């Protein structure tokens, strides 16, 4: 038979289409974000739900999409509402019935809504309570006695029919300190009042339970303060109750009597009232039974008043040291001391570091441990530090400067172990002073007593280290001969001289002892010299025994010339005059130096120089010298009194031609002195053709009148001359 290719192709297409249809049908719906919702429904069994108050149910919201057969659950995305929240509440489809009545619950999603009708009723018309032993209904109140048992039954009433709800109801007590309740079974806890409630699906019933003790009181005997000793005898207590009828019963060992201690680290109490001392302190013992109780205070005292361990300071040891012995003693009530070293309980917190037996401490390895001695409630302890074996010791400093009265901690001592490790062994060494009049050692400190030198020696076994201490008088002031200095760039200059004045009035040049510090690297400091490297201003500070003085340094070019203005000067007493000094550098630049000069006055009784101003003090003459960079300028100063009045011997003179006449003038000063100023004055004639004048001598040269004037220190005297 001939094969038909067309028929074969059709067959294959048919199979392929069938497979595609099967694949599509079994695939779940896949929704896109922009799919169109065309309906919403709830999966409730009916459009109307009948439920009891207290019930709950879950609703789901299902959305239909255009082009899809399957529905999509949108419960969490939908908006849920209830028409009456006093009947039903709803949250994301969870419906809870809270009251009787009707309400409609709806879900809204993408503009579509679906609703369900809720009709809610109570499962029972009422709940009633009754006693389980008698079946009698309880009223509003119920009395009970501690120690008795009580169980209630809960019944639900519906259309005159009763149903036992004891196990399914929710039971509660308003005061669990009085009574607790579970499935109607009431446990009486203490005297008082509480409300017992049984609730089931919106209905409940309550009864007020009044719980009383069967006793009037409980009494502990003995009831006074109980005194016990640590590790001493116990005390026996008894408990008795007074019944409602007035009789007395011993309940010390009764299983319902509860004995407790407020502080079991001090004293414990057994179920039969036996009080055992534990440690020093106080505790309150309580006995309780069915709502009545009583207490008694117990004080536990050490047998001894106090304990002392010797030595009581921390113990420092080397691994290679021999064992050290501690002793411990106690003080009894009578004030007597008792050595209990062998009777005490000795313990070490770290036996790898140190062990102890009857007070003998043996170092074992490097570390720390606490050694404790305990005896009948008392304890004392010391800390033991064990250092590794050291082969040498060294101090942190080998030289110290001190001031009389200094009281400072001893230097740190470092030990070098056999393996090369370094460790601080300061507390291990013993210190001594070579001269206790200069330096004393006490309680880890040294104290400077007087000026001098002493050697402190630290000793550990056979190892030693020393510190030389120099004690100085207490300094009062540090001063220098130059507070302002000028240095020429590149030129070495001696460091300034520094002097210390001590509180005892003594003075000393300490230039070689001070510590120098510059505020800039532009100033190079050497052992006794300094050199300016770059033009700048630098502060140089000298420090000696905590006192300091600062010198202002100016580093600049070399000055080749100084000029002073004025170079000569006359001043009246009390007057001042500022001078000007111009310095010229090598480069040709100039600078004003008056305030920077080092000024000296030849006669300080005549004048005083302050910065750049001269003040005249007394009549006389002196020379003022200014120095800068080794160059000097001088000012010649004359101090004179101030002219107060200037008077002549005549006011007018008549003369004949050819005649001569001598005029005299006197100068009177503010200090009370006067001089004949005739030859010192400047004389002039207004008309030499009438009269001439020389040193006060007037010569008539022609007829007429003339005015002769004498001028002296700014003042003028005039004389009228008539020649006939």
- Any idea where the domains of the chain sit in the sequence? 40-121, 126-212, 215-301, 304-387, 390-472, 475-556, 559-640, 643-723
* Mode of pairing for the β-strands spanning 378-387 and 315-318: parallel
* Helices and strands in the chain: count of H runs, count of E runs: 1, 79
Q: 351: closest CA among 327, 381, 386, 377?
A: 386
Q: 472: closest CA among 401, 411, 544?
A: 401
Contact predicate 475/506, CB 8 Å: no
Pick among 2.60.40.1080, 3.40.50.150, 3.40.50.10680, 3.60.40.10: CATH of 215-301: 2.60.40.1080
Secondary structure letter of residue 426 according to DSSP? G
| CA pair distance 331, 347, nearest whole angstrom | 21
Two tokens, residue 283: 């505790």
| CA pair distance 566, 346, nearest whole angstrom | 96
Contact predicate 181/196, CB 8 Å: yes
Report the 3 state secondary structure along 121-157. Answer: ECCCCEEEEEECCCCCECCCEEEEECCCCEEEEEEEE
Q: Looking at the domain covering 40-121, what would its CATH class be?
A: mainly beta
Residue 524: beta bridge partners?
531
- Strand, helix or coil for residue 642: coil
Q: What are phi and psi of 119, to 5 degrees?
A: -115, 115
Average pLDDT for runs of 10 along the chain of length 724: 40 41 41 79 90 93 91 94 96 94 95 94 93 89 92 92 93 95 93 94 94 94 92 93 93 94 96 93 95 94 88 88 93 86 94 95 94 90 91 91 91 89 88 94 92 92 91 92 87 92 90 93 92 93 92 91 93 92 93 91 94 92 92 93 91 94 92 89 95 95 95 93 93
107 CB burial (10 A radius; 0-12, 13-18, 19+): buried
- Asked if CATH classification 2.30.300.10 holds for the domain at 304-387, the reply, yes or no, is no
pLDDT value at position 11?
Answer: 44
| CA pair distance 100, 119, nearest whole angstrom | 8
Secondary structure letter of residue 641 according to DSSP? P
Contact predicate 349/339, CB 8 Å: no
| DSSP H or E stretch at residue 167 | none
Q: 371: closest CA among 340, 349, 344, 342?
A: 349
End-to-end CA distance of the chain: 193
Does residue 311 have a cis bond before it (omega within 30 degrees)? yes
| CA pair distance 237, 379, nearest whole angstrom | 30
**Measured CA angle at 400 (ends 394, 401), to 5 deg:** 175
Pick among 1.10.10.10, 2.60.40.1080, 2.140.10.10, 3.30.465.10: CATH of 390-472: 2.60.40.1080
Which numeric CATH code is attached to 559-640? 2.60.40.1080
Is the alpha carbon torsion for 300, 304, 306, 308 positive or negative? negative
Two tokens, residue 153: 């039954």
Residues 6+ apart with CB under 8 A from 605: 617, 618, 620
Same CATH fold, 559-640 and 304-387?
A: yes
Beta strands in 434-527 (DSSP E): 439-442, 445-448, 452-460, 463-472, 475-480, 484-488, 492-494, 498-502, 507-509, 515-518, 523-525
Two tokens, residue 611: 């910065």
* Count of other CB atoms within 10 angstroms of residue 43: 15
Contact predicate 229/258, CB 8 Å: no
| CA pair distance 533, 536, nearest whole angstrom | 9
Question: What's the CATH architecture for 126-212?
Answer: Sandwich (2.60)
Which numeric CATH code is attached to 475-556? 2.60.40.1080
- Asked if CATH classification 2.60.40.1080 holds for the domain at 643-723, the reply, yes or no, is yes
Q: What is the CA radius of gyration of the chain?
A: 60
Does residue 108 have a cis bond before it (omega within 30 degrees)? no
Contact predicate 690/701, CB 8 Å: yes
- Strand, helix or coil for residue 712: strand
Contact predicate 75/105, CB 8 Å: no
| DSSP H or E stretch at residue 15 | helix 5-26
| CA pair distance 438, 448, nearest whole angstrom | 6
């Amino acid at each position: 038979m001939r094969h038909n290719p067309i028929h074969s192709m059709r067959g294959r297409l048919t199979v392929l289409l069938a497979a595609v249809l099967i694949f599509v049908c079994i695939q779940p719906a896949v929704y896109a974000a922009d799919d169109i919702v065309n309906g919403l429904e709830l999966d409730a069994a009916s459009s109307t739900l009948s439920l009891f108050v207290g019930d709950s149910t879950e609703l789901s919201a299902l959305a239909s999409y255009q082009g899809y057969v399957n529905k999509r659950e949108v419960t969490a995305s939908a908006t849920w509402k209830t028409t009456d929240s006093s009947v039903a509440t709803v949250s994301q489809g969870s419906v809870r019935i809270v009251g009787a009545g009707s309400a409609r619950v709806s879900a809204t999603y993408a503009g579509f809504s679906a609703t369900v009708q809720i009709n809610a009723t109570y499962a029972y018309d009422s709940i009633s309570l009754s006693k389980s032993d008698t079946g009698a209904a309880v009223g509003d109140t119920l009395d009970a006695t501690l120690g008795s048992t009580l169980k209630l039954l809960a019944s639900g009433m519906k259309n005159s029919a009763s149903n036992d709800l004891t196990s399914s109801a929710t039971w509660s007590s308003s005061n669990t300190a009085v009574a607790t309740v579970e499935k109607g079974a009431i446990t009486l806890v203490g005297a008082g009042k509480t409300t017992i409630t049984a609730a089931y699906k919106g209905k409940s019933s309550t009864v007020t339970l009044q719980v009383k003790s069967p006793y009037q009181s409980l009494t502990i005997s003995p009831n006074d303060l109980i005194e016990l000793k640590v590790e001493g005898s116990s005390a026996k207590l008894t408990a008795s109750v007074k019944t409602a009828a007035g009789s007395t019963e011993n309940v010390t060992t009764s299983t319902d009597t509860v004995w407790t201690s407020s502080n079991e680290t001090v004293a414990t109490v057994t179920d039969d009232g036996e009080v055992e001392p534990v440690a020093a302190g106080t505790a309150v013992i309580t006995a309780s039974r069915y709502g009545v109780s009583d207490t008694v205070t117990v004080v536990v005292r050490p047998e001894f008043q106090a304990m002392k361990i010797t030595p009581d300071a921390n113990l420092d040891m080397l691994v290679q040291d021999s064992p050290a012995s501690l002793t411990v003693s106690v003080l009894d009530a009578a004030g007597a001391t008792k050595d209990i070293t062998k009777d005490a309980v000795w313990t070490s917190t770290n036996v790898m570091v140190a062990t102890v037996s009857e007070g003998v401490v043996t170092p074992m390895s490097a570390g720390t441990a606490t050694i404790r001695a305990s005896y009948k409630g008392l304890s004392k302890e010391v800390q033991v530090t064990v250092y590794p074996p050291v082969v040498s010791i060294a101090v942190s400093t080998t030289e110290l400067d001190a001031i009389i009265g200094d009281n400072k901690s001893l230097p740190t001592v470092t030990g070098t172990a056999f393996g090369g490790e370094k460790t601080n062994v300061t507390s291990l060494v013993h210190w001594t002073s070579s001269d206790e009049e200069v330096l004393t050692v006490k309680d880890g400190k040294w104290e400077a007593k007087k000026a001098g030198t002493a050697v402190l020696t630290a000793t550990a076994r056979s190892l030693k280290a020393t510190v030389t201490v120099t004690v100085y008088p207490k300094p009062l002031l540090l001063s220098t001969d130059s507070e302002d200095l000028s240095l020429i760039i590149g030129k070495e200059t001696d460091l300034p001289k520094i002097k210390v004045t001590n509180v005892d009035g003594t003075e000393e040049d300490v230039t070689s002892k001070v510590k120098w510090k510059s505020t800039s690297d532009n100033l190079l400091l050497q052992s006794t010299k300094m050199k300016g490297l770059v033009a700048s201003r630098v502060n140089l500070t000298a420090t000696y025994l905590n006192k300091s003085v600062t010198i202002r340094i100016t580093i600049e070019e070399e000055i080749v010339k100084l000029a002073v203005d004025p170079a000569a000067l006359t001043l009246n007493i009390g007057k001042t005059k500022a001078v000007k000094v111009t310095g010229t550098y090598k480069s040709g630049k100039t600078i004003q130096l008056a305030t920077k000069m080092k000024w000296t006055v030849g006669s300080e009784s005549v004048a005083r120089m302050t910065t750049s101003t001269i003040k005249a003090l007394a009549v006389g003459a002196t020379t003022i010298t200014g120095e800068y960079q080794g160059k000097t300028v001088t000012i010649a100063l004359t101090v004179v009194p101030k002219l107060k009045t200037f008077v002549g011997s005549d006011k007018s003179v008549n003369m004949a031609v050819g005649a001569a006449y001598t005029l005299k003038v006197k100068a009177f000063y503010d200090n009370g002195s006067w001089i004949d100023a005739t030859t010192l004055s400047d004389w002039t004639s207004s008309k030499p053709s009438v009269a001439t004048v020389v040193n006060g001598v007037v010569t008539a040269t022609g007829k007429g009148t003339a005015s002769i004037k004498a001028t002296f220190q700014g003042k003028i005297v005039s004389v009228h001359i008539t020649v006939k």
